[in-house]
Amino acid sequence: MEQVIGFLNQLKENNNREWFEEHRAEYLQAKNTFDTFAQNLIEGISAFDPTISNLTLKDCTYRIYRDTRFAKDKTPYKTHMGVYIAPYGKKSGYAGYYFHIEAKESNYIGGHILTTGSYRPPKELLKSIREEVMLNGEEFLDTITKAEGFHLEQHNTLSRIPYGFPQDSPYSQYFKLKDFFVTKEIDNNFLNSPNLLSNTIAEFKKTTAFKDLLNKAIQYAYENGI
């Protein structure tokens, strides 16, 4: 993955179309390296999680070109790469596994991460997830414990407990969450290890119970006509 990180670092310092076209061959090499890893990661995760079987690269990866139509930042290219492996693909609304790397000091996320869960789910799905936590809070906390080395992100929250959820619940702090995902920060040593693929698969395997609990709630919402 060193080659990919190196290209992203260069792109951050030269984020314009002229430079990109001059270095398109390097981009294609980096893309091929990342895509090969992503394909192997999909297959590796599907070995222990059948809910994401039969996914393709297109189902899980993203274009490097930015949509700048409504953005203040008009730089044309993303300086990160990611693969989101979720049931039925990245646009399904289901919780999944996300592998992310970015250029040094790009500040998109702030570093390289492994994360599992649901980011900014629609309000109907979010309500169903909160209800799942309300009804099965002990199981919810147990799935976080099983995700050893990961932490539950709690930065994006409401200021108050939402209407319809009990104020005195032992899980009340989680009702305010607007995202539900667990994260593990990784560094270049992790990314450049010859065991990157197997290490990543092993880390994500710890988070499967968490993902499954969220998707039980999401499936319930879908089945009840959101």
Buried b (16+ CB within 10 A) or exposed e, 83-94: bbbbbebbeebb
Phi and psi at 184, nearest 5°, equal: -130, 120
In this prediction, residue 53 carries a pLDDT of 87
Q: If we measure between CA atoms, which residue out of 142, 140, 59, 135 comes closest to residue 97?
A: 59
pLDDT score, position 67: 84
Percent residues over pLDDT 90 in the chain: 90
| Reported confidence tier of residue 47, pLDDT bands at 50, 70, 90 | very high
pLDDT confidence tier of residue 71, bands split at 50, 70 and 90: confident
Q: Give the mean pLDDT of 23-35.
A: 97
Element housing 110 (H / E): none
pLDDT of residue 226: 66
Alpha-carbon 146 to chain mean position: 18
Q: Which fold has domain 2-223?
A: BirA Bifunctional Protein; domain 2 (3.30.930)
Burial class (CB in 10 A: 0-12, 13-18, 19+), 182: buried
Q: Kindly report, residue by residue over 160-208, the tens digit of the pLDDT.
A: 999 999 999 999 999 999 999 999 999 999 999 999 999 999 999 999 9
Contact 39, 57 (CB under 8 A): yes
What pLDDT score was predicted for residue 46?
A: 96
User: Residue 151's closest CA among 111, 112, 184?
Assistant: 184
Rounded-to-integer distance, Cα 104 and Cα 112, Å: 9
Is the pTM higher than 0.85? yes
Domain parsing of the chain, residue ranges: 2-223
Task: Give the span between the Cα atoms of 144 and 213, in whole angstroms.
Answer: 11
What is residue 218's predicted lDDT score, i.e. its pLDDT? Answer: 97
The contacts of residue 175 (CB under 8 Å, 6+ apart) are 130, 133, 134, 161, 162, 165, 169
What pLDDT shows up at residue 72? Answer: 79
What is the share, in percent, of the chain residues with pLDDT greater than 70?
100
216 pLDDT exceeds 70? yes
